[in-house]
Structure 1
């Protein structure tokens, strides 16, 4: 594999030598400091461009560059002013650095490094703060993005920073060091990762502080995920952070700011009965990149294979009497049915036949058109619409998608799933946030099924209405809420509220926040008491997160507002500059005015649009010879012309996926894109079906009827590793065949797959409900015989029958 990263006309590496990351986790907030070391090994002054990912909700709050012993700290300025200042500096031979956020997707940033002298190095430091996501097992997830997939830009869309995302290949040509310091009010139970870590070292006997390092030799080819476990992670909490005394009076940075973390607990009687109605629409990405492999370990699947398995499980888990439809999309889209159909054995069986034929063969990733088509369909009365969107997130027009989802939020809930490394966090979390749903990320060796089934449980929860937040504070103190109003609450999921405290207290040191909402016919109240005394050693992390939250709200208001746009933009820029936090209208600019060198000719910026995975090393070199180049999976793209490079040994799957991307590249390059088409079940794809399911659980689930029962036949016996005669001969005389088969399936699930219960919980609930509707005598003997037959020890009470 040829080298990649910053290359010259001789295809030689590289100014980026190393990345060093320090992470400080304080309770639910992380501060990340990343230092990138560049070295110019060319014989001429160099300008480099680096496009890289950050978490969608990150607040970038510091940018500096150290050249030799001199450090230049960047300032936040109006974006156009910063760009002009950068261009002027570089053209006059001064060293300059420009960091700006993508206008299309807030999780993509571009770093321009200008005028590095021959042999000179520069250490660029970027600091950002972000909240940690709470997982289903109550762990806190930290993610350091390493992979930035190319984003598909539909014809007619304005190209921007996301169109500059370059491809990477093989191992990253630099080193990564990562150290993590964790502190928490609660003891730290453990820390896990998808990467190899050194042993966790506790710094205090009460286990409230600890450090850990990434083991040497890590190849930075996947996102680095850390999962932190505290005792009582899911308990409500409040962080009060003091303001800056020198900030302007009345400003956000001057006053104290509070971050409230709430975990609503719904009444047990409400949660015991999930909804049996709804319209479930599953939207599946079938673009060429879905043919890539999730990981390279045992039983590795492509994205589309894992998605097919998940659709099988979802279809088997739906309640009888609901409605459903399935869409596939790429450069075009198609639906299984012209409109959502009632869930029955017949419609489920039809859908499963088509699911087996779904392939990653539909070109680019254009999600807007299928969404518009779905929203144009009338909703089913008394069946709330639930949208499940599966994608690898390679979408360039993120904000257009989010605005569309938000515009239709009152007609549906949106649950989004990111498949594989490098998916756009802005797209996935944004669709769920604007659609009052929930987002999930499936990376590495993660199984998609448990995460999707957790979201299905959320979708089946009754919706929460009339959410209100009330504050009780000492006299003289008022609150200014910076977050958008809470639109959705799910059992056990965190809700964040940022508020600015104004005024002076005349006495009292405690506040109370009360959240009220209606759940079915009940009025539910959750309350949190907190101390107004500022928490120590938080820096300004909470203020910057609060500023980021307010800026995102204003940006959304700006896009949806027909008037006062200039006033909103002014507010965004003022808050961004005041808080030192990035926004779409500002940029970080640093200029070394002491440096000046002769430049032969202008330093022109290269614009090369390539497609493939991006491993934090997609850097385009630009110099006075007006050349730019980058390597793309065995090809070198130079001035948008393909030239063959050294031969590369690749698998058939990777080759097919790559050729699909090359085809998409030329398709995207055309002046006009083909009009989207809608295809219904009368039009089918290839009749070739994939290999039969080898996963025993999925094999059993695939045999269940829509009503919840199983047939007593040879395929069921094979799933148990038995013969049909063995199952039939042991059947108690008074029990009908389907009841016996369904009982055996339940016994096998509880006895052999209890660790995967989250995946089959709805399948089992349907089975129990079906058995309850049958005329069956004493089932105790049946359960005993079934245990002996299948080698299990499950009680009738465990089965819930």
Structure 2
């Protein structure tokens, strides 16, 4: 939290704070997070007798000595703090931006070339959740990239070296695994967060390998666990795990240290790598104690010859990213997040996609004689596929050399040479100095985690770095000097209430809730205060149609004779099939109308585009957007057998594509009624064939046909292998497409490079008969392709 002092009565001051951060990078996708609210924290320990250090509602404790600075009052339900927020983001990526998404907020803006310019939509003024922006860039990803800054030859230079991991043999290097899922069931997780966390574990259990072992630990004021020690995956253990998770309920404190002990203290089974997966909002105040213990356990495991990793999984709208990212860093893992407006399945799939790939361990950098000083981080983390390593440091003399990254992968040595040149002078990238200072301060700060010892020399070093590079720390403050001085008068300290984070029950989390003084009334919780809300008891429908009046809109979905009229646009993120949040109320209304009108037996969901781009691309994006609407409707209770998705690309414009406004009209989704009578029963899928695969998946890929075609000339065996792999991937896409409609809970299990019918049968139930048939048919086609490939190879 921030404190501002010496504000004269009835005066206004402007505070401008400049911040720097290194964006999270996964492959070609970058993520920017802007925090907007502090969630209610749990503070363990006994209260201190000394005066409080801040103006919060909780007392400082012997384990959290700044608790009073981290506990602002929270406004209650139906109230607002009245402190609105506006946000403008401009990204200059230096590479073409090929797509972006904001899963947390509605935005206005667009990407053009290398630049993305966004603002929060007018109704997104309530600071009750973090802002998250993800954008993807095109172009070839370099093996390594270097940024430097040196204002003059007689001053220190700074550099940032980003190294992308090399491609390795996946199947040969992924070892035996022990997975421990640790779920937070404290009071702050009550409601949506605990539901999301439970769903994440259920999805994760379905993706375990038969050779894995696993356990589940739940913690609040105390801990409980499924088994005394991890057990092998089987029907019985998975069923027991699902029942254990289903019984969990939120309530109580957040004694995360106990969960650290329970998950990391016991020795791992010989020959297994331990993966500990923490699902929590991180609402605690004793971060240093938790991170210090995590680091020590991992160090002890390495000393015994064991290998363990800790992964954070943030669940909620405004989680404690300081703690969660720290868990990943100190635990030699990484961190994933699922906001309250995202499906946790995406983060779970990213987690398994990461640990299903090899890891570079014992990473070291040989600087090849370059005059490099204090490279950070001091201990290089393990390097995961798609996650680059960034090293930032100082340098003295300019020079050019071959820098070598050395590591181990599955016990095998890996080397990666990189040509690096550190210049005599470089005025570009002035942010590198403060970024290095921040990293150095963070590294020094780990020496202060032991609160029982005094470290004046460390604090002195932190203060010197802070002053030189103008980086704020717990031991320094920004100071503005006014030319006029007002003397006399008693000072008054005011604690400013904050919004409750979206999805969090503030009372269950133990927060001090403001019910009247210091808050403003917003009865319908639509973000528009009652004083200016024309409909204070009915929430606004935010869709761009008179959003400022605070009133819901009239009916937007009407059944006509041959179509269902949608009197509002469905908005998608630019260039993608992701439905924007502002259109979700419309999707809800569409689903309600379909559910309440069963006489409409069959509907075609049509996707249409303008004429910008190639015919093939427009057809593909229109098909995917139609499928996305179908998926959203099915998720809201519409029978998938009533819906068919079809993309028409640019072939059916309703107005000429001659202006930006007309092109926007042509980018649309329409619903056409195909049938109002009883549909005759019959099989949904034809006999196995490559055409069947294309129908199931909604793609034009049929690599199996290419392998069988005698007219195809294959010059090299590698080419044949590639075609066979494409056939396998087509199989996976085929049944994944069907799972979108009939078994959304199995999608993660189907995102495998090689689809196994036995695995699907094990996970699926009788209600998934069509899906099991699709997998069996697809495997038959793939078997034919494999046989043709073997025959071809023998012929060669």
- The residue aligned with 1:595 is 485
Q: Indicate conservation of the 8 Å contact 1:481/1:499, yes or no.
A: yes
SS at match of 1:586: coil
- The residue aligned with 2:594 is none
How far is the alpha carbon of 1:589 from its aligned partner? Answer: 2.5
> Per-residue displacement from partner, 1:25-68 (whole Å, max 9, x unpaired)?
xxxxxxxxxxxxxxxxxxxxxxxxxx3xxxxxxxxxxxxxxxxx
- The residue aligned with 1:548 is 438
Q: Verify: 1:177 aligned to 2:83, yes or no.
A: no
Q: Indicate conservation of the 8 Å contact 1:417/1:428, yes or no.
A: yes
Change (3 A) 1:632 1:382: same
Change (3 A) 1:540 1:645: closer
In the TM superposition, 1:295-374 aligns within 5 A as 302-360=192-250, 362-374=251-263
Q: Verify: 1:130 aligned to 2:36, yes or no.
A: no
Q: Verify: 1:115 aligned to 2:7, yes or no.
A: yes
- The residue aligned with 2:394 is 500
Q: Verify: 1:750 aligned to 2:736, yes or no.
A: yes
- Once residues 784 and 437 of structure 1 are traced to their aligned partners in structure 2, the CA distance between those partners, rounded to angstroms, is 35
How far is the alpha carbon of 1:409 from its aligned partner? Answer: 1.3
> Per-residue displacement from partner, 1:410-457 (whole Å, max 9, x unpaired)?
432001111111111111100000001110111142221221232233
Q: Verify: 1:214 aligned to 2:120, yes or no.
A: yes
- Once residues 784 and 335 of structure 2 are traced to their aligned partners in structure 1, the CA distance between those partners, rounded to angstroms, is 32
SS at match of 1:472: coil
- Once residues 749 and 220 of structure 2 are traced to their aligned partners in structure 1, the CA distance between those partners, rounded to angstroms, is 30
SS at match of 1:465: strand
- The residue aligned with 2:756 is 767
Q: Indicate conservation of the 8 Å contact 2:96/2:138, yes or no.
A: yes
SS at match of 1:592: coil
- Once residues 733 and 93 of structure 2 are traced to their aligned partners in structure 1, the CA distance between those partners, rounded to angstroms, is 43
Change (3 A) 1:456 1:183: same
Structure 2's unaligned 5+ residue stretches are 47-62, 302-307, 527-631, 638-678, 689-730, 763-768, 788-796
How far is the alpha carbon of 1:382 from its aligned partner? Answer: 1.4
How far is the alpha carbon of 1:527 from its aligned partner? Answer: 3.3
How far is the alpha carbon of 1:341 from its aligned partner? Answer: 2.3
How far is the alpha carbon of 1:593 from its aligned partner? Answer: 4.9
Change (3 A) 1:234 1:449: farther
SS at match of 2:87: strand
SS at match of 2:19: strand
Instruction: Give the stretch that moved more between structures: 398-407 or 378-387.
Output: 378-387
RMSD between aligned alpha carbons? 4.6
SS at match of 2:282: coil
Residue 260 of structure 1: which of 155, 158, 161 is its match? 161
Q: Indicate conservation of the 8 Å contact 1:470/1:513, yes or no.
A: yes
- The residue aligned with 2:98 is 189
Q: Indicate conservation of the 8 Å contact 1:768/1:800, yes or no.
A: no
How far is the alpha carbon of 1:572 from its aligned partner? Answer: 1.4
- Once residues 585 and 696 of structure 1 are traced to their aligned partners in structure 2, the CA distance between those partners, rounded to angstroms, is 54
Change (3 A) 1:175 1:637: closer
- Once residues 698 and 280 of structure 1 are traced to their aligned partners in structure 2, the CA distance between those partners, rounded to angstroms, is 33
- The residue aligned with 2:349 is 453
- The residue aligned with 2:727 is none
User: Which structure dedicates a bigger proportion of its chain to helix?
Assistant: 2
- Once residues 430 and 769 of structure 1 are traced to their aligned partners in structure 2, the CA distance between those partners, rounded to angstroms, is 39
Q: Indicate conservation of the 8 Å contact 1:480/1:500, yes or no.
A: yes
Change (3 A) 1:614 1:322: closer
- The residue aligned with 2:269 is 380
Change (3 A) 1:758 1:316: closer
- Once residues 760 and 96 of structure 2 are traced to their aligned partners in structure 1, the CA distance between those partners, rounded to angstroms, is 46
Change (3 A) 1:531 1:208: farther
SS at match of 2:277: strand
SS at match of 1:554: helix
- Once residues 276 and 182 of structure 1 are traced to their aligned partners in structure 2, the CA distance between those partners, rounded to angstroms, is 40
SS at match of 2:125: coil
SS at match of 1:146: coil
- The residue aligned with 1:164 is 71
In the TM superposition, 1:212-251 aligns within 5 A as 212-220=118-126, 221-232=128-139, 234-245=141-152
User: Which structure dedicates a bigger proportion of its chain to strand?
Assistant: 1
- The residue aligned with 1:89 is none
Q: Indicate conservation of the 8 Å contact 1:264/1:489, yes or no.
A: yes
- Once residues 571 and 461 of structure 1 are traced to their aligned partners in structure 2, the CA distance between those partners, rounded to angstroms, is 40
- The residue aligned with 2:364 is 468
Change (3 A) 1:772 1:524: farther
> Per-residue displacement from partner, 1:547-597 (whole Å, max 9, x unpaired)?
110111111134359988222222111111111112222222334251214
Structure 1's unaligned 5+ residue stretches are 1-50, 52-109, 293-301, 619-630, 639-643, 652-693, 700-721, 732-744, 774-781
* Corresponding residue pairs, total: 559
- The residue aligned with 1:676 is none
SS at match of 1:568: helix
Q: Indicate conservation of the 8 Å contact 2:289/2:449, yes or no.
A: no
Residue 501 of structure 2: which of 608, 613, 629 is its match? 613
